[in-house]
Amino acid sequence: MVLRYDDVSRLMRDSRLQATETAMPAQAGIMQGALFDIFQHGMLTANGDVHARRRSPLSRSLAHQMAEEFRQHVRRSADALIDACYDSGSLDLTSGYAAKLPILALAGLLEIPDADVSSFMQHVHAMNEFFRPGPTERAVAEAEHAALRLRSYLDRHMKHPEACRPESFLYRYLALSQADGLTRLEALVQIVQLIIGGTESVRTALVAQTVHLLSEPEQWSVVCADPTLVPNAVAEGLRFEPGIAGVVRVSVEEIDIDGWRLPSGQLVILSTLSALRDERVFDRADAFDISRPNLKLARLAFGGGAHQCVADALGRAELEEGLSVLVERLLGLRLDSEPAFHGHHFVRKTTGCPVRWQL
Ligand code: HEM
């Protein structure tokens, strides 16, 4: 496990550390099926030219995405989630808000018809369980089933006229992936990876930023009084409690790290969770403080090098709109109890987070 900010940041760009291809499912005894295909055909676990070829159509079509349109969709989705529970004066922030908002955001990007959103959400929830810390055997079996159903649904959806309007994200993506020679399975799997990457990270970060801000009532009040500070709160939330704990790599050569020799063939975790609390880089690293002068360094939460998050702008938009709606609409918001955050390798998870507000 690599812990310091400088080492983590430098080694993310070091070609002696490679993505793990199918090593992770193999370790879990999974050698075929829809979950295995995510590792076998996806960009996140690929290296070199294969990775670049799979990533390029996605990153180019995301670059064309209208940022303002996406923000408005996220905001409408967040408002609808709060409308549904507002009169009760209470909510489980984890299951009622943070688990749903990123899936609704992606359903908007992919133009999933309203009638299909609920089953889309169920498949994504069930599939994602595989990537969270400590899945049970039953959860793995359900995740496999859900991954297959989601892939079949997306395959049908991608032929649907709604998704294939020339100005839609999917239309552009499909045209580029075809031009770049991606197989149909590869094209589908990158969308599945977009869904996994775009839901798990945001879910935990949405809870974390709200909880840590509410735990510092003065800072919560400052953001309520001046919503232009929301981006600072989001950046400090990502630094203090990032949604992804780190990135997993395998060493293909020996590497010296400050007098330590990392052998070849070793699984390595570059821990952003640790690096973002490095006291050599962040003054009072264990304090949540939205007025830090070097908040831009929190972008390490999105990784670095060839695999750096392909959709960090969308992630930030979801976190900012998600927080703005809570700040603007829920007067006197307070925590009933603090959630626990689990996971220190890759995807993290959080327990329930009951909150209340004044009516
Ligand atoms: C809080 C928000 C987010 C955080 C903290 C985050 C973090 C990360 C990190 C650390 C990586 C690098 C993984 C590695 O090197 O192994 C990554 C990659 C990726 N992220 Fe994000 N992410 C966020 C939001 C999103 C969103 C909203 C999407 C999609 C809509 C997304 C899709 C992806 C994909 C597809 C990759 C793989 C890129 C590649 O392998 O080239 N992420 N993300």
pLDDT of the chain, 359 residues: tens digit per residue:
999 999 999 999 999 999 999 999 998 899 999 999 999 999 999 999 999 999 999 999 998 777 889 999 999 999 999 999 999 999 999 999 999 999 999 999 999 999 999 999 999 999 999 999 889 999 999 999 999 999 999 999 998 867 778 888 999 999 999 999 999 999 999 999 999 999 999 999 999 999 999 999 999 999 999 999 999 999 999 999 999 999 999 999 999 998 999 999 999 999 999 999 999 999 999 999 999 999 999 999 999 999 999 999 999 999 999 999 999 999 999 999 999 999 998 999 999 999 999 99
Q: Do the beta carbons of residue 205 and residue 319 sit within 8 Å? A: yes
C-alpha 322: how far from its chain's center? 14
Question: Which residues, at least 6 apart from 37, have a Cβ–Cβ distance to it below 8 Å?
Answer: 147, 151, 185, 189
* Nearest CA owner, ligand 1 atom 37: 44
**Number of DSSP helices (H) and strands (E) in the chain, helices first:** 15, 10
Residue 165 pLDDT = 82
Nearest to 216 by CA among 313, 279, 284, 315: 284
Residue 65 pLDDT = 74
Side-chain half-sphere exposure of 74, counting CA atoms within 13 A? 30
Could you tell me the domains of the chain? 5-356 (1.10.630.10)
Cα(196) to ligand 1 centroid in Å equals 9
Q: Give the span between the Cα atoms of 229 and 159, in whole angstroms.
A: 42
Residue ranges of alpha helices (H) inside 42-112 are 48-63, 67-85, 93, 101-109
Residue 36 pLDDT = 98
Testing ligand 1's pocket by substitution, the residue of 200, 309, 318 carrying the most ligand atoms inside 8 A of its CB is 309
Residue 79 pLDDT = 98
Give the pair of three-digit tokens for residue 82.
């709060």
DSSP per-residue codes, 294-309? TGGGGGGGG--GGGS-
Percent of the chain as helix, strand, coil, to the nearest 5: 60, 10, 30
**Neighbour-count burial of 72, counting CB atoms closer than 10 A to its CB (0-12 exposed, 13-18 middle, 19+ buried):** middle
Residue 166 pLDDT = 85
Q: Give the span between the Cα atoms of 98 and 128, in whole angstroms.
A: 14
Residue 10 pLDDT = 97
Q: Which residues contact ligand 1 via a Cβ below 6 A?
A: 43-44, 55, 193-194, 197-198, 201-202, 205, 242-244, 247, 301-303, 307, 309-311, 314-315, 319
- CA 193 to ligand 1: nearest atom: 35
Distances, alpha carbon 287 to alpha carbons 124, 205, 224, 237, 279, in Å: 34, 17, 20, 11, 11
* Nearest CA owner, ligand 1 atom 41: 307
Residue 164 pLDDT = 75
Cα-based angle 179, 52, 39 (whole degrees, multiple of 5): 100
Residue 258 pLDDT = 87
